[in-house]
Amino acid sequence: MKKIAHIVCALTPKTFFPRLLFFAVFLSLSGLFVPGCKKDNLPAGPSTDAFETLAKSFLTKATLPLSLDALTLGAEVPQDSLENMARQVIEEMVFLRTDPAGNLLVNKVRDGLLPKVTIDNMVAGFLADGRMLKGDYLVRFQWRTNTGVAFTTLGAVSPGGVPRFEPVLHFNGIETVHTPGVQPRSGWTSTWTRTIENGFGSDCVEVEWKVDITTSPDGCNIVDPAPHIEITKQLSNCWGWEQHTTKGEIAWCNPQQDCRCSVQPQSYGEDCIKWVVVTYVATGASNIKVETNAGGEYKGFKVDAKVSFEVSRFGSEATFEKIGNLCAKSGSI
């Protein structure tokens, strides 16, 4: 890769995005940028080295069929046009979806004629969250899909060169689930965590839950009633992100010669539960609908709420699941 001051030319990452997710990106305001990759064309302003490093690091962890061709420093954001510039950025926003063949499809917000109130709310949230501030500089990222479709996004960098915002990095994330060891008490208990971290290193979704059973003296049966899963934390921490997490469990019998299973009293075995914790995530103009008084179903589990997406072409949706088994005598299997 050849570096020329603040402009990066011909960036070609490997892959993008291992688990997910959804992609909201912005078309450029081309008149605000100095074209080309020549040092003597550069505007005065901060270095984009940190942004380059951040983007490259995130892209190497990903599998989205997308490459970054170039990055260009743009104009300074003045106070008297901060809101207008934010509105123009929002109106130029596009969302990417994946078709069944794995190709990316580009949906332009401007072509969707979103209601003015929706745009107003996006602008207000964008500015309130500090995604762009007076004195920041715009940065243009030039992308290309696996089918050769070229588009650009706008980012913002602080006067000191700290990356502030770029939509591919902001609206995509990588899920991490911490799998604990199961610890015995008068039964078994374990605490789990799920985080979805975006390209800026922000935990945009945080979920914690506990799986806990009480067992009989011989260790064969689960003696406390359901539910045995408790969601102890679920948070959405980033602008434009929304989440809801639900849970469910199924009782079953694991063959065990020295136990008599209460789930199937005629069978030799230990009591077990098969459990699921599902996190629904939406971004942009997509939303999550939760019906807490109506039980839902997920892959054969009865879960504690009916959750669905209100889908928009100008948003993204994803589900993240963890399915486990916890048995009275054996613990997690």
DSSP-assigned letter for residue 215: B
The per-residue DSSP string of 239-294 comes to TTEEEEEEEEEEEEEE--TT-B-SSSTTSB-EEEEEEEEEEEEEEET-EEEEETTS
State the residue range of the domain holding 275: 174-332
pLDDT tens per residue across span 146-197: 889 898 888 899 999 999 999 889 988 999 999 887 777 789 999 999 999 9
Residue in this structure with the two tokens 């011909």, named with its chain if needed: 10
Q: Same domain for 165 and 46? A: yes
Q: Same domain for 178 and 160? A: no
DSSP-assigned letter for residue 88: H
Q: Same domain for 118 and 6? A: yes
Q: Same domain for 181 and 159? A: no
Percent of the chain at pLDDT > 70 equals 87
Comparing 13 with 213, the larger pLDDT belongs to: 213
On whether the CB atoms of residues 11 and 70 are closer than 8 A, the answer is yes
Q: Which run of H or of E encompasses 106?
A: strand 104-108
pTM: 0.85
State how far the alpha carbon of 95 is from the alpha carbons of 151, 213, 257, in Å: 11, 44, 56
For the chain, the domain total comes to 2
pLDDT tens per residue across span 230-277: 999 999 999 999 999 999 999 999 999 999 999 998 889 999 999 999
Q: Same domain for 37 and 101? A: yes
Dist. CA 184–CA 214, nearest whole Å = 9
Q: Which run of H or of E encompasses 212?
A: strand 203-214
**Type of residue at 328:** A
Dist. CA 38–CA 69, nearest whole Å = 16
